[in-house]
Chain A
Amino acid sequence: NAGVTQTPKFQVLKTGQSMTLQCAQDMNHEYMSWYRQDPGMGLRLIHYSVGAGITDQGEVPNGYNVSRSTTEDFPLRLLSAAPSQTSVYFCASSRDRGNEQFFGPGTRLTVL
């Protein structure tokens, strides 16, 4: 199993550009989440999904969209990138409620 994979590893955008961060898992996990990690702020939940077709907002959802058309994939979309979205983004999945979350390797995004 590859576990949780994320692409790209690094990305530089200009303000106003759009892009999609990809996340996939091959463990047949129902729960998937997106976090951003900022110095001094820890990990903050952006969006999460409890299964295909079901998504909900986390702590910092503004500026981000998600969809969950399949169990395996949970892409995160930035419609109009802003410098405040410069961060490291982590995707995570878990089998079900209360279980260990498995994290991807992260995507380091810089918005100029």
Chain B
Amino acid sequence: QEQLVESGGAVVQPEESLKLSCTASGFIFSYYSIHWVRQAPGKGLEWVALISYDGNKKYYADSVKGRFTMSRDNSKSTLYLQMNSLKPEDTAVYYCAKRFGVAFDVWGQGTRVTVSS
């Protein structure tokens, strides 16, 4: 069955960097665009970024533009989110989600990022 598994979440200090991974199985990874979505504690979901199936196009929310970078390695069915200059407001559970039309049809269980001094 189609599955996404996130990893790499950690506790870091403000201004530090962190790289998240998202590994796919059960579908042809290289065919699909993938999103990152996050949920801060006690808050709703927030769309973060999208990368096209071939990695050539990337789109970011204003809140992370210039600090976060998405990439992918289709040979490894893995997606990455490089997060730099982290802020306390980046504290959240980060989900990767497969694009289905204009919706998100397969989600991972999430990985937790805490930014605190």
Partners in one complex: no
A interface residues, Cβ below 8 angstroms from B: none
- B residues sitting closer than 8 Å to A (CB atoms) are none
